[in-house]
Amino acid sequence: MSDSPAAEAAKLSGEVPAVEDKPRKNRFDRSIVEGPLSRAVWRLAWPTMLTNIFGGLQGIVDHAMVGNVVGFRGNAAIGVSWQIFLVVVVFISSIFTGMSILVARFAGAGEEDKVDRTVYQAFLTAIFITLGLIAPIGYFASPLLLDLVNATPEVQQEALPYLRIMFLFSTGMMMFFMLSGALRSAGDAKTPMVLGIAMTVMNLFFNIILIGGVGPIPSFGTMGAAMGTCIASGIVGIYAIVSLWNGRWVVSIRQKSGNYAPDWKVIRKLFNFGLPAGIQGIAMNIGGVFLLAFVGSLAESAAAQAAYAVSYTQLFSLITWTSVGLMGAAAAVAGQNLGADQPERAVAGVRTASRFGLIGAAFVGIFFMFFPQQLLAIFGMTEPVVVGIGVQLLRVLSISGLFVTVALTYTGGLQGTGDTKSPLYISIISQIVIPLGICFVMQQTAGLEPIHIWLAILAGHATRAGLSVFKFNQGKWRHIKVDIETTVG
């Protein structure tokens, strides 16, 4: 095997290549762009899926503990609070979507300095938005937001302190999301898995103490769930910042150029690519908020909101969170292979991720279809009205999950290659226009019932899957250019 051009030049000039340069050639995992595709997708997907399953289980435990300590109104409070808080999470995550697109392209092309510059600018932007905007605005707007979702006074009493704590102390969680996206896009999904599991274990530990109370520590009920989440994520967030600075991982926030000022050109790129994804997420969650308003308008609103919170927000996460892991894998594989000028391999990678998702969704769907009462009982949901509504919803979701996993993996393919606008338009149609339109028509004509809302959710998911596959197969993403200016150290 011949030496590299740099090594040949060194021989001719009589110089000896620096030994420290050699390991840097292997900084990124080249199997994503060179090895077997199924193995590459799975290597990226399974750690994220496992992390998300643990995270989902932690949420399930939270709901189960709150349901048994506070009652189903506590479940409803967490459900409506998370629906509101997710709007914020998704907006800030849009920055990380833009970051992930750039990181995947640069990692695929082997441009290490550009990877680190992108991650550092995403870090600066997220810190400013989280502490300077989201925390103060969210704290004071929380009562108005809870009114918007038609939460009953009893539910609002439980939800308000929970929501305010989440707004004020979400920085650690955002740091974890940033780190996970950066590392996964660069080819390392195992480090976020280890940190995610550690965060979940700590969260469970703190929640056991804070929700129910232990010894001299009183029971904080629903508020204790928020306290445990913020403490655990804060610890992980601090560790992540220190590790990113010390260069322990495949990405770093330390800059070779020594310039740590905001780079507005890079930040603009983050928003150019990420903002459509953020608007998409906000639109979807606003759609979810209005859907909750329809749920709140039902005759048995508190029971329906509790069933929705447990069945859709928690149990359905067993499908959505694993699919989100595959979505991240599809995005990284597609982005890196496009950066390595291998578009056909990007297509094959997304299709592989979709097949994995269908297998997982079908497996979980079996439990939703045939064992719904047993699943609801875990959360202390034994009231006949709540159980009846929850069983109905879970059985619809057993089918809906198949569409969701396809939609998410193909969305990952589109976003990973830089097409963040198509998923935005698709989400507006499928997650807002169709489900809310169905609910509105039924409310104005036959009278809105829970089953109408659940079928509207199913129709939206099916539409999103079909449109996502169609748009990806069009292949316009092949021509999207991604780059930032090179700096001189």
What pLDDT, in 10s, does the model give residues 248-300? Answer: 899 999 888 888 999 998 999 998 898 888 888 778 777 887 888 898 888 88
Convert the pLDDT of each residue in 304-314 to its tens digit. Answer: 888 888 888 77
pLDDT value for 56: 67
State yes or no: pLDDT of 470 exceeds 70.
yes
Contacts of residue 414, defined as CB under 8 A and 6 or more positions apart, other chains included, come to: 420, 422, 423, 468, 471, 472, 477
Between these two residues, 455 and 96, which has the higher pLDDT value?
A: 455
Query: Whole-angstrom Cα distance, residue 371 to residue 398?
Result: 11
Query: Whole-angstrom Cα distance, residue 406 to residue 409?
Result: 5
DSSP 8-state class, residue 217? B
The amino acid present at 152, given as its one-letter code, is T
Picking from 217, 192, 191, the residue whose alpha carbon sits closest to that of residue 206 is 217
Residue written as token pair 């619809």: 396
pLDDT grade for 15, boundaries at 50, 70 and 90 = very low
pLDDT value for 78: 83
Q: Mean pLDDT across the stretch 136-151?
A: 87
pLDDT value for 487: 59
From residue 324, give the alpha-carbon distance in Å to each of 320, 355, 361.
6, 14, 12
The amino acid present at 332, given as its one-letter code, is A
State yes or no: pLDDT of 466 exceeds 60.
yes
Greatest alpha-carbon pair distance for the chain in Å reads 86
Lowest mean pLDDT segment, chosen from 59-68, 80-89, 428-437: 59-68
Convert the pLDDT of each residue in 87-142 to its tens digit. Answer: 777 777 778 888 999 999 898 888 888 999 999 999 999 899 899 988 999 999 99
State yes or no: pLDDT of 17 exceeds 70.
no
pLDDT value for 23: 38
Picking from 413, 277, 286, 299, the residue whose alpha carbon sits closest to that of residue 348 is 413
Query: Whole-angstrom Cα distance, residue 41 to residue 187?
Result: 10
Contact 365, 398 (CB under 8 A): yes
Lowest mean pLDDT segment, chosen from 211-215, 357-361, 411-415, 459-463: 211-215
pLDDT value for 2: 40
Give percent above pLDDT 70 in the chain.
92
Between these two residues, 205 and 150, which has the higher pLDDT value?
A: 205
pLDDT value for 161: 92
**How far is C-alpha 62 from the chain's CA centre?**
19
Mean residue pLDDT of the chain comes to 86
Contact 315, 396 (CB under 8 A): no
From residue 98, give the alpha-carbon distance in Å to each of 134, 163, 486.
19, 27, 18
The amino acid present at 215, given as its one-letter code, is G
Query: Whole-angstrom Cα distance, residue 227 to residue 211?
Result: 9
CA-CA-CA-CA torsion sign (414, 336, 240, 229): positive
Return the domain boundaries, the chain: 35-475
